[in-house]
Chain A
């Protein structure tokens, strides 16, 4: 299915209008889940965004034997740190999307409920996520992809999650004290390329 330019434009305007609505209406002010802020503090997320993302992570990583839970891994905290390392514009966009995701007005428009995503029961949260994943509106699928990728990157950056997949990194090959060559003042280059000429 290819979208006409006009359709994309309309969707873009619709998305922009919705993003602009964040926090500006009665429904938008309905409070979502509240979670304690990590001891280390947050660098990108506000408290509401942090809680919304952790709620999403709990659905992305439901309880499964051998796998650490989303709360054990602290997915939202790790996502906050990942975002802090990137271009600030990415963090800004993710925050906007999370605001919209938990926005009761958007919930009413897209799925007919006025309870913020983060306060819905698990089955309803799964339905909301499925609605964003399979939406006919490209911007909703884009938002789902952005949040999904961030959650997966954060979760599988944790050693326990990596271990759960069965992957074992090769050991004995990395030398954290290997010398760093910067020029001929350090002697001849010691890398394999430098010794073969």
Chain B
């Protein structure tokens, strides 16, 4: 079988394909799964809603990148716009446009999945050989502090000055020029995304990949999926061309991520006894912006290379967080950072002197924290979902304390000014001003919250009454449907999710292959 990558403009008539496994989505989950199945000699068809964009398209133009490589043109958000959601939509999914941070799953999270959610057989020992393989294959290596850019150095220095724990981040790169533009695609192929690693290898093994194929529905009969129905999209406009792609597969694996996967199941009337679309976790993030006298140039150099989990566990009932820094590209900063009018322009004029600190909050691990929901909108709304994520006092308390810690770290590293993410920012000029954060308003849209990590929505668990897939990633009520992506996480992680998704997908590939009848 000759593998190949097709784009929407090449599908000029309605087409029906047959195969062993249809993989829907090409990100961290789909990319690994496609390769593992193709290596077993299985006939794999992969469908990706986004376009096939390669380094020739990664010209570092932010406006083009967000509108082309991201979900909803970079405008995905909760229904009330209180949380902006950055998520990839291109061949390679999030791995093509993320900031290259790799963490193995914290053991306590896997233990929680076992003890609280009834997940069986998925522990550190089971995942370790897969992580070992992936780290070798994707060149996942430590980015030493000596190579950190000024933006990350600020976090490192501030943590050190206050005596907080700190570490350096592993990155999936090879011959990285540290351009700082990872979020708009890597123009040198240094980033070892699935786009340039596992997917080409799978295609060389025979996998057929169709980009610009938006899967609209799964047909089912009895306890089996019988067909996957996709609309072919025009690569230039992302609008349907009217052509249909139908895949008849022995087994179907949904790998669309934590919003699109539950969305596809719901469109297919697969509600998982009411569990599909529930327990959506976003790692909600608040951003503390600082200004330094010297140039920081947070848009240059490897973007995310220092972290701290000092505050990840604040005790029962308290939201904890992971600390990292983001790159500060102009357009992204303008939209994500606070202020309006002259005040906002002042921030933008000092962009080369700006540092930002992310507090990435760990959701889903406290009693009563059920996260958000994904539901369908009007049928005419092609790419949008009704995403809700109620922010409660529990969240706001955590955000407020996180912003106070961030400000202390930034001042300890020498910041001359720190600003909160409020729509009218709290401006602090020294330690004594940090108390101002206690009097600021904490409510949706008055304090900005963002998300770049989406998890859950098709939770894995020990019972069909409380989860969507079982401990082999199989949809509880269908024999030949699997979900293989971050949507199966029963909780968030408290670390960047890519390596967990990669590892779970490689571990889960054995179950998908077994469902076809392959024991290789």
B331 and A193 within 8 A (CB):
no
- Write the residues of chain B forming the contact surface with A, with a CB cutoff of 8 angstroms: 2-6, 52, 54-56, 58-60, 62-63, 66-67, 72-75, 80-82, 84, 138-139, 174-175, 177, 179-181, 187-190, 192, 195-198, 200-201, 203-204, 237-238, 299-300, 329-331, 334-335, 340-342, 344-345, 348-349, 351-352, 377-378, 380-384, 390-393, 423-424, 441-446
How far, in Å, is A10 (CB) from chain B's closest CB? 15
Which residue of A has the minimal Cβ distance to B191?
A192
A-B contact count (CB 8 A): 206
How far, in Å, is B124 (CB) from chain A's closest CB? 27
**A–B complex contacts, Cβ < 8 Å, 14 sampled:** A60-B344, A64-B345, A64-B349, A82-B73, A85-B238, A133-B424, A165-B348, A165-B349, A166-B352, A174-B59, A180-B54, A183-B5, A183-B204, A185-B4
How far, in Å, is A155 (CB) from chain B's closest CB? 7
Residues of chain A in range 154-191 having any CB-CB distance to chain B below 8 Å: 155-157, 161-162, 164-167, 169-170, 173-185, 188-189, 191
Q: Evaluate whether A192 and B200 lie within 8 angstroms (CB atoms) in the complex, with A126-B341, A134-B423 already known.
A: no
Partner of B330, one of A2, A156, A188: A156
Which chain A positions have C-beta within 8 A of B84? 149
B201 and A193 within 8 A (CB):
yes
Which residue of A has the minimal Cβ distance to B448?
A145
Partner of A178, one of B55, B192, B382: B55
Which residue of A has the minimal Cβ distance to B176?
A192
Partner of A175, one of B55, B81, B82: B55
- Write the residues of chain A forming the contact surface with B, with a CB cutoff of 8 angstroms: 1-3, 59-62, 64, 66-67, 82, 85-90, 126, 129, 133-134, 138, 141-142, 144-146, 148-149, 152-153, 155-157, 161-162, 164-167, 169-170, 173-185, 188-189, 191-194, 196-197
A193 and B341 within 8 A (CB):
no
B334 and A152 within 8 A (CB):
yes
B60 and A174 within 8 A (CB):
yes
Question: When chains A and B are docked, how far (Å) is the Cα of A153 from the Cα of B201?
Answer: 37
Question: When chains A and B are docked, how far (Å) is the Cα of A78 from the Cα of B339?
Answer: 21
Which chain B positions have C-beta within 8 A of A134? 423-424, 446
Question: When chains A and B are docked, how far (Å) is the Cα of A142 from the Cα of B423?
Answer: 12
Which residue of B has the minimal Cβ distance to A189?
B200
> A2-B390, A152-B344, A183-B204 are known contacts; what are 5 more A-B pairs with Cβ within 8 Å?
A1-B442, A2-B443, A62-B341, A173-B187, A174-B55
How far, in Å, is A125 (CB) from chain B's closest CB? 10
Which chain A positions have C-beta within 8 A of B5? 181-183
Question: When chains A and B are docked, how far (Å) is the Cα of A62 from the Cα of B105?
Answer: 47
Question: When chains A and B are docked, how far (Å) is the Cα of A181 from the Cα of B66?
Answer: 23
B345 and A85 within 8 A (CB):
no
Which chain A positions have C-beta within 8 A of B349? 64, 66-67, 164-166
Question: When chains A and B are docked, how far (Å) is the Cα of A145 from the Cα of B445?
Answer: 7
Partner of A173, one of B177, B197, B200, B442: B177
Question: When chains A and B are docked, how far (Å) is the Cα of A169 from the Cα of B187?
Answer: 12
Q: Evaluate whether A165 and B351 lie within 8 angstroms (CB atoms) in the complex, with A87-B381, A178-B54, A180-B54 already known.
A: yes
B192 and A192 within 8 A (CB):
yes
Which chain B positions have C-beta within 8 A of A152? 331, 334-335, 344
A89 and B380 within 8 A (CB):
yes
Question: When chains A and B are docked, how far (Å) is the Cα of A155 from the Cα of B348?
Answer: 12
How far, in Å, is A72 (CB) from chain B's closest CB? 14
Question: When chains A and B are docked, how far (Å) is the Cα of A138 from the Cα of B344?
Answer: 22
Q: Evaluate whether A170 and B174 lie within 8 angstroms (CB atoms) in the complex, with A165-B330, A175-B187, A193-B192 already known.
A: no
